[in-house]
Structure 1
Amino acid sequence: MIKIIDSTLSKLDMFHVSKEQLLLFCKYMKQIGIDNLEISIKSYKKMESLPDGIKFYLELGPFDKASDYPGIHKYVAARENKEPNIISEFQINDAREVILLKSYSNLTNVRIRGLDDLICHEYEYAFYEIKKIFNNSIINLCPENTFYCASAIAILWLISGGSEVTTAFAGCGNMAATEEVCMAMRVIERVKPNQKLDALIGIREWYETVTGEQISSRKPVIGSKIFYVESGIHVDGLLKKASNYEAYSPSIVGQKSTIVIGKYSGRNSIKSKLKEYGIENDALIPVILKEVKKVSTENRNSLSDEEFLDLVKRVIVDD
Structure 2
Amino acid sequence: MKYGVIGAGAMGYRYGILLQENAEVDVDFIDTWEPNVEKVKSQGGVYVSRDHENRHLVPINIYYPEEYQGHPDVWIVFKKQMQLSEELKRDSKSGLFHSDQYVFSAMNGMGHFEKLAEYFDETHIITGTAMIATVLSGPGDVDFMGPKNGEAMHMAPYKNYPVDDVNKQVFTDLKKATLGPEMADDWLGMCMTKVIFNAVVNTLCTMFEIKMGELIQYDGVPDMAAQLFNESFDACERADIPLIGTRQSNVQLVVDNCHKLKYHYPSMYQDFSKGRNTEIDYINGYIAKIGRENDYVCRTHEFVVHEVHLAEKMRQFKK
TM-score (norm 2): 0.29
Greater Rg by CA: 1
Ranked by relative contact order (alpha carbons within 8 Å, sequence separation 6 or more), the top structure is 2
